[in-house]
Amino acid sequence: MRIPIHREGWPFIAIFAVANVLIYLFSHVAALLFLPLTLWCIAFFRDPERSPPPGERRIVSPADGMLLPIVEAVPPEELGLGPAPRRRLSIFMNVFNVHVNRMPASGTVVALAYRPGRFFNASFDKASVHNERMSARLRPTGSTDPDADLAVVQIAGLVARRIVCDIAEGAQVRRGERYGMIRFGSRLDVYLPNSATIVVQDGSVTRAGETVLAEL
């Protein structure tokens, strides 16, 4: 039976658990006060199963969190999507959200690029431009038109210090499948092709792999 904890979490959970035991040896009260932090660490790395909705032309949320204001923005230049602005949907994850990221659509990863950067609060608009990020360009299944490609970008936040991305350039991916995570608090941006129709509103609460953001 699969334990619903992401593999990235086990070292941290072990550290917190050992610390809790050592504190308990010196003070039962202090150990009780530290226990919520241990439980939070376990909850942070939880990795529940998700079921994508039917309809291959639907683009689902890559993250749990809250949808920030939808804007027009230029995609990361390292992906080669051109200088024209696209509609950008940004999902902000706080430290209590599930942080496992999932693919927004099925298709082929045609470009993958990491860029180091700053660590501004991920809810700020400038985080998309200045923060550390891992960007993926995805060509939807059945498409041969580069203009139909979309981008999904993992962005480190104020306290995030590690972006995990488990896909490679050229990989075939499925909508809703796990592909990485970010520690500890961050955001994901999705840049849509012009042909997509957005079906969510600013401020919506999203669930990775299940909430429909747009339709191709």
Tokens read off for 12: 């941290």
Active site members: 186
Contacts of range 35-40, beta carbons closer than 8 Å, 24 or more positions apart? 38/13, 40/95
Residue 191 burial by Cβ neighbours in a 10 Å radius (0-12, 13-18, 19+): buried
In degrees rounded to 5, what are phi and psi of residue 7?
-60, -30
Task: Name the residue among 36, 8, 30 with its Cα closest to residue 16.
Answer: 36
Tokens read off for 17: 């658990």
CA 214-176-1 angle, 5° bins: 155
Q: How far apart (Å, rounded) are the C-alpha atoms in residues 81 and 98?
A: 29
Task: Name the residue among 13, 1, 22 with its Cα closest to residue 43.
Answer: 13
